[in-house]
Structure 1
Amino acid sequence: MANQVVNQIDQKRAQWYWKSNSDPWSVNKKEEWTKYSDIESEIIEEASNEKTKTKLVELDNYWINLNDYIQINKYDKSKQRQIKRVLINRNENQGLREERFFHPQVLNKPFNDDYGASALGFLADTAGYAPGYTSYRRYYADDASVKSS
């Protein structure tokens, strides 16, 4: 049992990175590498372990060429970057799906600029079909007719 725990600690796993420099082919600048997400890294690793000659992996917006270790933009083939594979301890950097939690999405405004005012009319109209419910529009319409007389 203790050996199993030690073996799990010592096990390595692959983490894939893409070169994120503004000019990814420059050799004079310090190299900057960005991790692929855990799911993307797993997809790339599975493909790299397959015994096929042509190793192309399709991600959302990129092709990964495992023969040449490059990432190719699907929409602009001239945009290519180097990739690399690094073995890390299984427990090291265990931020599973960390992009989910550390990069919150930008909040957007509603589809229109009335911020829900148009929804009140819709709700009032549809609520009028509920048994025993008096629409606020009917109430105000009745109130307006009382005031005008």
Structure 2
Amino acid sequence: MEEKIEFKLATIEDVDSIVKMLADDLLGSQRERYEQPLPESYLKAFQAITNDPNNELIVACIGAEIIGVQQITFTPYLTYQGGWRATIEGVRTSSSLRGKGVGTKLIQWAICRAKERGCHLVQLTTDKKREDALRFYEQLGFTASHEGMKLKL
């Protein structure tokens, strides 16, 4: 990518583009509801994220166009001598730019942000069905060191 990518905290005006991006893949299309107007649940979630000082919803932009998104949650732990962790969630890039380095820049930005916040660890999860994503994260130095488990409610 030759054009300069800028990163910023998302605004309420960005939520439409974010949800559209989240819904624009095989798994996302099964769980997201991109429609006009957006379901109120997305706007409520956005407000909760922005009201929490330990959550950041970050968009990657070229000019006014949003080309990527990720959420970073900073969590204090008693383990690691009271250390902080950063968890990266909801990473998506514009489908027209996948494979062009946007995802790499998003994750690198998140790692730098975690260091700024004094985190000792960056963690993330990805669906096991996302084989390309698994390879992508491994290429960036992440290791599958733990087995994650979820319980849907």
Q: Structure 2-normalised TM-score?
A: 0.21
Choose between structure 1 and 2: higher helix proportion.
Answer: 2
Bigger Cα Rg? 1
Choose between structure 1 and 2: higher strand proportion.
Answer: 2
Q: Structure 1-normalised TM-score?
A: 0.22
